[in-house]
Structure 1
Amino acid sequence: MRVSRVRKWFCFLFVSGLLCTATASADVRLPKFMGDHMVLQRDMPIPLWGWAAPGEKVTATLGDDKAEATADDKGEWRLTLPARPAGDPLTLTVTGKNKLTLTDILMGEVWLCSGQSNMEWVVQSSTNAAQEIANANYPQIRQIKIPKVPSGTPQDDVAGTWAICSPQTAGGFTAAGYFMARKLNQELGVPIGLINSSWGGTAIEPWTPPEGFAGVPELKSLSDQVQQRSPGNPAYQKALNDHIAQTEAWLQKAKAATAAGNASPPSPAFPESLKAPATHSDATGLYNGMIHPFVGWPIRGAIWYQGETNSGDGMRYRAKMEALIEGWRKVWGIGDFPFYFVQIAPFQYGASAPSVLAEFWEAQAESAKIPNTGMVVTTDIATINDIHPPNKQDVGLRLALLALHRTYGKSDVVDSGPTFKSIEPKGNELVVTFENTAGGLKSRDGQALTWFEVIGPDSGWTKAEAKIDGDTVILSAPGVSSPAAMRFAWHKLAEPNLANGAGLPATAFRAGEVPRVDFLSQVDDAKAYRLMCDIDLQKLAKNVTYDVDNRSQMTTPFDRIGYLVELQSSGGAAQFVFVSMDAFTNDIKKIGIPDLSSGAVFQQQVKNLTVVSNAAGITSGANLDGGNIEFWPHNYGQQNTANVPGASNTTFDFGDFKSDPQDGYGSMQVHNFKAKQTLFSINHWANGSGADLGIGNSTGENSDWTFSGNAGNYTTKRLRVFVRPTRQ
């Protein structure tokens, strides 16, 4: 009897537990980011969504507005309340089998704040923090901080609590967002809600939705990678089926080996390309976990402070910004909402080239040409040795100026510094005209204008004297008789002083046509050669595509092959080397960069080497007998297995050996082994701006430039390949 009663009691508890669980799962529920004290976007329809028992009727009431919905067979429901103006605090009730009540809800302006550490940077770490926090009595400003949760798949919910701005809470608010919100609240007189979804040290790619990558042709490879790991995508299904087939074949072999008492072969590894994003570094991972849960939640716009992690991207960042902005807009479905972003500040960025940040600023400025966007310039409010300038007050103010002028229609607000309009050469001067001068250009510190440079046909980049004349700046420089081009703030540490009448700064830019030196004219027998290939090495990639490719038109035999390499770093003089040699192949397809598709693999001495160069230390001459080439797409090692005279076995130089894989690091090197010189190197071309480029011997550990990763240091980088038709 006792046992039977225990069993009955256990069954009762078990069934009761099931009933309780079922009841709990049927409760009407809202996403966790909808809570007390939240700010809803005024003047837009208000969507609400959540979960309930399938078929359950849900009623939502906000003030005197009411809407109803019925949960579908998945237990999901959605309804829309009418748009409301800003006004008194409201209570939201959502009723089904249970009732939810959210209080102190404000109607106002909602802004999404995203990016990396400079957006995550809080008020308590900013300039004059103690006083700012003490004065932060703005109960109409609220923030929700989204937890740092990357995800491999788009999430439907995320936790978060809305905080009311006060001296007790403001220290933890995003500083850029708070100082923007403060100005907007003062000027508009309405509540401001901040959705703070930011994470320090993150790149732009994790924040971008798949739809964004798919919409930008320049990012096709990234889009393909994202699609490859998306379940349901044909590419994913094919790769998965291939893996399943390989695994099934392995299972048969493993079973047979086990039955025979033999060792089993290793099982196939799950393909890396199919693995879902798992960290904050993976493309789409932060969008999935930290943006997707509230996609469609009405917002006025977004502010973005990011780029430090992508600072070496150059103009490619413009494409990534387009993917982010248009991707968010597409998935949100509320039109081209405003998107305002902050220029990253001057900073050393290690041993990177001086121009690397200027080229990135140029990409950011180009991003501001995307419709309904704007950029805050920060070169005048930096802390030069701090990647996190603590002056976030001016950052937030300038974000607010953009919004007040462009979003809220305040026509009397100046929101931009002077911007380039035109350039005109006049004798020994360049006249640069600006727009957005707000009553006239000026030097913000009263000193002579800084960070202007000019270049002419017979000079390198030279510091210019700059004089303001109304809306123009007149540039000239000693020793530059006919300046043809100019650049401004073209250095990663530039803190220029050009501003407009409103005191807002100009951003880095360049204009005019940089004169190209005709190095080919310095080669005596150049007229005997025909151009086969021409490539701007800025376009280096795994599969090399030439700007000019005449090889298919070459139908006559040739007896000489020549290479002209030109390199110029920011602020440095242009260097070139022309090397020619007796033809080492009669296959015209194998004379260019030896990527995998070319079929070119050569390690051999070449005859009658001719060298012409303006680079210091290079041995020039005709018909030299120390020529050697190492052309291959393979990896390679230091050992001098080819027994090139004088080469090292312990460093990468003019005598290395190729190794697997065939589609590896890649080497295109011409040497003069008698002079112990690398004449030029183009290595690791698949790495693009991180490829190895050099003329002459590198001063680093490896004289042939291996592992230098320096292609991004050059503003000019060009390769031309020639052949000389066989003389009859």
Structure 2
Amino acid sequence: MNSRWMQSGTFAALFTFLLVGSLQAELTMPALFTDHMVLQRDMPIFIWGSSDKGAEVNVTLGDQKVTVTANDNGKWKAELKPLPAGGPHQVVVRSGDAEKVITDVLVGEVWVCSGQSNMQWDVNASNDADLERLTANFPKIRLISVPQVGTQEAQESFNGKWELCTPDTVGSFSGVGYFFGRQIYQTLDVPVGLIDNAWGGSSAEAWVERDVLKNSGKFNELMARWEQTEATYNHEQAVAQYKENLKAWEEKAKQAKADGKPEPGGKPGPPRNPLTNQHRPANLYQGVLNPIIGYGIRGVIWYQGESNAGRAYQYRDLFPLMIQNWRDRWGQGDFPFYWVQLADFLQERTEPGDSAWAELREAQTMTLDRLPNTGQAVIIDLGEAEDIHPRNKQDVAKRLARLALANEYGYKIVSQSPRYKSMSVEGNAIVIEMDTYGSQLDSFDTRALQGFTIAGADKKFVNAKAELIGSNKVRVSSPEVKEPVAVRYAWGDNPVANLQNAQAMPATPFRTDDWDGTTKNNK
């Protein structure tokens, strides 16, 4: 046989192979769409990804088949009809000769677990972690975590995958998220999917789109500070300066060792880049939220606020703006958004005083009246004075679960802490009426109520005597205040307070006055 023919035939075959390879359809999908995923039941199902420009994409789920066309940027999105809880199912996505098969797909309840370190705090670091791991054999609870990426560029996916909840996988997952999801699963007996994208220390403004912050007109000083940082910060220079400083310190340490002296203090640490951190406006919205926006969810549980306590008055606008921003972009209406109020922290004080943490709790509570379908878990009884990360995540999760079970799933249970309703002056006392939401007031540990202070027109608060009146009222007085005008309850970083309901849920901290607080002018 002619060798030249053989050579040309070989080259022709190779050319054909390369040509076919180059024409093979591209098909990519975000990490959310992987084996073991959980889809939200009883809602339209959205599945999306990328392919070639103008390519036809077929998505099959059970007996449903949907065909869509990729746009000029290669993006496509398919909408499938709602499904009831169940599975396992298989999702098949085809574009040209490319195919992706997603197996062991369940349909149930999907919740996003977000916020800062107390949501990120994992099962391994929570109370009774060893016992919790032993019993965490729930293959119908599925977990996925979003890596921490701080950026101004919208991320479309992330490095992650869905995992079955087992003793081996649960330890590194959000404690509050897992304990919440477990309660939902055990109550409803349907699959549960949990998406964790929390980032320790994160500021609320990092979770909001930049244009939304700027267009609101309420955060001009905050944005101006960041624009100054963005215009002037040079991370390479900061790293170079750090290396010089470290080298100088090492020379001093070497000399000190030679002289038999202790190592000098002040060892420099590497610089943290503010442009990629968890505080820069929009960094987390784009980096860890955008990749999951649009995925069908039941709602969000949220634990954040510590990083914004110094700007608590600002949080009154910032927090509801953040929630509304998420809802607007998700396109799923006013999905439930339940948060954890700040726990008790720092040292207990015997005398009344100002408190940034109290003002932040107040801002969180105010959001209940600003937006529909919201709820708050009060935990001023679960904190630790010297640890900003209380380890009792189980009870935190149960209080969040009460909100979901009552509001979303129709269970007739008490879900809200008692909350201030109104006041009336009666002689030298003030009578406080509380909303008890189907329960009644009670006290913890002692019958005598603790945590109440009272003031006259001079705005000087003193510790007060308080007593229960019936099922929903408290009478507050002090011989030091003859003509009272205002009452505060649990107003402090770490308040000593014991008013609760019959379900042992602590009363929501409150004040009846609107006098200027310590964070009012902090922008």
- On whether the aligned pair clears a TM of 0.5, the verdict is yes
Aligned match of 2:511: 510
- Map of 1:214-613 to 2, 5 A cutoff? 216-220=216-220, 277-348=275-346, 354-369=354-369, 370-410=371-411, 412-436=412-436, 438-457=438-457, 460-470=460-470, 471-512=472-513
Q: Is the Cα contact below 8 Å between 1:153 and 1:276 reproduced in 2?
A: no
Tell me the CA shift for residue 121 of structure 1.
Answer: 0.6
- Map of 1:189-208 to 2, 5 A cutoff? 189-208=189-208
SS in 2 for 1:433: strand
Aligned match of 1:143: 143
Q: Is the Cα contact below 8 Å between 1:65 and 1:81 reproduced in 2?
A: yes
- Map of 1:615-634 to 2, 5 A cutoff? none
Q: Is the Cα contact below 8 Å between 1:33 and 1:159 reproduced in 2?
A: no
Partner Cα distance (2:161, 2:87) in 1: 21
Query: Deviation digits for residues 486-533 of structure 1, max 9, x if unmatched?
Result: 10111101141100122211121111477xxxxxxxxxxxxxxxxxxx
Partner Cα distance (1:191, 1:481) in 2: 59
Q: Is the Cα contact below 8 Å between 1:485 and 1:511 reproduced in 2?
A: yes
Aligned match of 1:30: 29
Query: Deviation digits for residues 171-200 of structure 1, max 9, x if unmatched?
Result: 122111111111111111111111100111
Matching residue's letter, 1:441: L
Is 1:689–2:512 an aligned residue pair? no
The alignment's C-alpha RMSD in Å is 3.2
Tell me the CA shift for residue 439 of structure 1.
Answer: 3.7
Identity of aligned residues (%): 40
Partner Cα distance (1:190, 1:469) in 2: 43
Query: Deviation digits for residues 336-384 of structure 1, max 9, x if unmatched?
Result: 1110001121212999x75111111111111222211111101011122
Aligned match of 1:162: 162
SS in 2 for 1:504: coil
| Larger-gyration structure (1/2) | 1
Aligned match of 1:525: none
Tell me the CA shift for residue 21 of structure 1.
Answer: 6.7
Partner Cα distance (1:213, 1:482) in 2: 44
When residues 354 and 482 of structure 1 are mapped into structure 2, their CA distance, relative to the original with a 3 A threshold, is closer
Matching residue's letter, 2:88: P
Query: Deviation digits for residues 522-553 of structure 1, max 9, x if unmatched?
Result: xxxxxxxxxxxxxx89798xxxxxxxxxxxxx
**Further displaced range: 489-498 or 202-211:** 202-211
SS in 1 for 2:395: helix
Q: Report how many aligned residue pairs link the two structures.
A: 471
Partner Cα distance (1:226, 1:18) in 2: 50
Query: Deviation digits for residues 127-168 of structure 1, max 9, x if unmatched?
Result: 111111111121111111001111221122222110111111
Tell me the CA shift for residue 444 of structure 1.
Answer: 1.9
Partner Cα distance (1:98, 1:194) in 2: 29
Matching residue's letter, 1:501: A
SS in 1 for 2:357: helix
Aligned match of 2:243: none
Matching residue's letter, 1:297: Y
SS in 1 for 2:310: coil
Structure 2 runs not aligned, ≥5 long: 1-7, 232-272
TM-score by length of 1: 0.60
Tell me the CA shift for residue 23 of structure 1.
Answer: 4.6
TM-score by length of 2: 0.83
Tell me the CA shift for residue 68 of structure 1.
Answer: 0.8
Matching residue's letter, 1:59: N
Aligned match of 1:55: 54
* Structure with the largest fraction of helix: 2
Q: Is the Cα contact below 8 Å between 2:310 and 2:519 reproduced in 1?
A: no
The one of the two structures with greater contact order (alpha-carbon pairs below 8 A, sep at least 6) is 2
When residues 449 and 405 of structure 1 are mapped into structure 2, their CA distance, relative to the original with a 3 A threshold, is same
Tell me the CA shift for residue 12 of structure 1.
Answer: 9.2
Matching residue's letter, 1:196: D
When residues 226 and 48 of structure 1 are mapped into structure 2, their CA distance, relative to the original with a 3 A threshold, is farther
Structure 1 runs not aligned, ≥5 long: 1-7, 231-235, 237-274, 515-535, 541-687, 691-728
Tell me the CA shift for residue 223 of structure 1.
Answer: 6.5
Tell me the CA shift for residue 203 of structure 1.
Answer: 0.9
Partner Cα distance (1:227, 1:172) in 2: 36
Is 1:78–2:77 an aligned residue pair? yes
Tell me the CA shift for residue 113 of structure 1.
Answer: 1.0
SS in 1 for 2:151: coil
Partner Cα distance (2:449, 2:319) in 1: 31
Partner Cα distance (1:349, 1:447) in 2: 24
Partner Cα distance (1:20, 1:229) in 2: 50
Q: Is the Cα contact below 8 Å between 1:484 and 1:513 reproduced in 2?
A: no
Partner Cα distance (2:336, 2:379) in 1: 20
Matching residue's letter, 1:308: E
